[in-house]
Structure 1
């Protein structure tokens, strides 16, 4: 079984990234209209993704932090109005990906492609939750990743989870 997931070859010298994920201080307090409860929910969601990745990806602790995940969530919240529900769905889809790769003996989630697979998890969550969704090109530009790599990763993700996208609350 061949799964096409893009392995990001991160160049540490690359400075033209649109967002500096290595700068947790970029995570600013959300606007005053956001309630304390919403902030708590977003923080818990960041912790949840962090826990999932720490348990499943060797070497993830060198790349992932709660602050970096919070930054990704903050970008999605500000740019595409990500909903808490979509974040929860994305976490379930990521867990499903990990479970399926273990069942199939295909280990594609690694420290090198965590970022790409997180983005794909959120994109899929939004696609199954919304009537109108931004195109993949928008997300590729937003996160400064190749549209081809994003599309290949999305297809591989879907094949690995056997297109099982339904999530019940």
Structure 2
């Protein structure tokens, strides 16, 4: 059964999202398995949930966009996203997700402050990610539901 995606994710859902994030990154970015684990992914997602107040739907959208980004990079044989900039790329995925999903998203300066990152780096990285994705952010409802069931194997 599809859960309410307008609520904050539960701890159980965070675990499933963390497993997906770790596996997706390990599969999509060479060398990332040396430092990306489910527990590190969980810490990142819990931080995002707490500070950004992301709903389950927003988290799922971000995970689906991450998967799409890595697929596009593989198709284009583009190694722009690598172990050196993975953290920035992940933050930017959440930035573009919220800009797409919310009427009033957090500003990039808010994200820079939360993650102690350089604002210019975030701004430039956001554009790079959007270009890699060919500026295609839309995910249809059927695709979203299939993705939901892939993550939660319900």
Q: What stretches of structure 1 move > 4 A for 4+ residues in a row?
A: none
The worse-fitting range, judged by mean Cα deviation, of 78-87 and 138-147 is 78-87
2:65 maps to what in 1?
A: 93
Counterpart among 49, 58, 61 of residue 30 in structure 2: 58
Bigger relative CO (Cα 8 Å, ≥ 6 apart):
1
The Cα shift of 1:117 comes to: 0.8
1:166 maps to what in 2?
A: 138
Q: CA RMSD in A?
A: 1.7
Aligned equivalents of 1:105 and 1:54: distance in 2? Answer: 17
CA deviations 1:96-135 (Å, max 9, x no partner) are: 1111112222111211111111111111111111111110
Counterpart among 90, 115, 118 of residue 146 in structure 1: 118
2:56 maps to what in 1?
A: 84
Q: Secondary structure at the match of 2:88?
A: helix
- Stretches of structure 2 that go unaligned for 5 or more consecutive residues are 1-6, 145-154
Larger radius of gyration: 1
* Structure with more of its chain in helix, by fraction: 2
Give TM-score scaled by structure 2 length.
Answer: 0.82
Counterpart among 67, 77, 81 of residue 109 in structure 1: 81
- Say yes or no: does 1:74 pair with 2:46: yes
Give TM-score scaled by structure 1 length.
Answer: 0.75
